[in-house]
Each structure stands twice: as C-alpha cells, then as structure tokens.
Copies of this chain bind each other. A is one copy, B any other.
Amino acid sequence: MSDGAGKEIERLIDLMARLPGLGPRSARRAVLAMIQKRSLMLEPLAQALTDVSATARECVECGNIGTSDICAICADPRRDPGLLCVVEDVSDLWAMERTGVFAGRYHVLGGVLSALDGTGPEDLRLPRLVALAGSVDVREVILALGTTVDGQTTAHYIAEALAGCSVAVSSLAQGVPVGGELDYLDDGTISAALRARRVMG
C-alpha cells in the first residue's frame, strides 16, 4: 500500500508504526507533522536519535538504561546504597524516579517469573541481587514489582532467596490509588486496602 510519498518516507512511517502505542495511521500523522515542521521537529529528532543510538547503553551495575557504562543513579554519591529497590523493568525504574521520593539505588530484574511465558529464575538478573543483599552496604531490599500473579510470585521467590541474608525485605503497599474512587475499583484492590487499613490520627 503506497502513500504517494517517497521510498525513504514510507520506510520511516513503517519503522515508526512498529513502536508501541503507534500504528500505521498515527505513524503517518507523526511523520507528516515532522516533515512539515522540519527545523523544529525533523532535524532535531534525527540528531537526537543519532545521539542516542551512539550513546545509549545498559548500566553494568543496576541494568538501567543511560548514556554511560555506570548510569547517573549508580554514579551519584548522594544516593543511599543501603536501600535497594528491585524493579521488573527499566520503565518501572523510570516511573519510580519520576516520583522523586526514592533516594536509594536500583536493581533491574529484567522480567518476572512466569510459568506461562516460560521465564524461570535463570532468566532474571538474580545473582547480583543476592550478592548485593549479602553485602554489608545494603540494609533493606524494597520489592517494587507489579501486583500481578507473576509479580507477586517473583516477590515471594526473592524474599525466600534473601532469607539467609541479614537484610530487611519489604514490598510496596497495596491499596486504593490516590484520586481513586471505590466504586470503580476491583474487589481485589478493595480487599487488599481493607486488610492493610491504618489507624488514623
């Protein structure tokens, strides 16, 4: 199916359409908008992509994606090495960072255990986690995994694997999301929030 644009443009649309959240139609709109704002969008984007393509890499410490071998978080001496937050993926790490409330360090697992997907413990970045948890530096391991069955299975697996270490293992609280209305919440969340209720005042 041809758009009547050139080969290079069709290829760009084709590539953009493979990105998550974009389809053929929105990719076409995005590419057209880029071209129509050449100096504002197309040229800076081409440069930014080339820059990222040249510099992006995985942090050898935590698994975060950044532009140096040791990411900005691992290299920051102000971050508390005593707090280690375990996340499934880089996107979860970035989501935690955006809140700006966590001042410790991270460990990216690279997935969660999943019988369905055939993801076993050997597929996750567990050895470094166990080594870190056994070191004197780390006081607490915070499991910030999803509240899916797989996420919770993984959290329990890690908690057991770290049972021999002298670290506290915690997990994020489950409950009513901020701004959430009970009426729209699923039963599981309401039950969890009720079980974890807190005495006020």
Contact = CB atoms under 8 A, between A and B. Distances in A.
Contacts of A26: 20-22
A1 interface: yes
A31 B91 CA distance: 10
B8 A55 contact: yes
A33 B43 CA distance: 21
Contact of A3 (B18, B42, B52, B97): B97
Given A26-B21, A46-B50, A56-B9, A32 B91 contact: yes
A22 B20 CA distance: 10
18 contacts: A1-B100, A4-B72, A5-B64, A6-B55, A6-B56, A9-B56, A9-B66, A12-B48, A15-B44, A15-B45, A15-B48, A19-B30, A28-B94, A32-B65, A32-B91, A34-B52, A42-B49, A49-B49
B5 A66 contact: yes
Contacts of A97: 2-4
A78 interface: no
Interface of A: 1-9, 11-12, 15-16, 18-22, 26, 28-36, 38, 41-46, 48-53, 55-56, 64-68, 71-73, 90-91, 93-94, 97-98, 100
Contacts of A93: 4
Given A18-B41, A94-B28, A4 B53 contact: no
A16 to B, nearest CB: 7
Given A8-B67, A12-B48, 8 more contacts: A6-B71, A6-B72, A9-B67, A18-B41, A22-B26, A28-B91, A32-B91, A38-B53
A36 B20 CA distance: 12
A51 B12 CA distance: 9
A35 B56 contact: yes
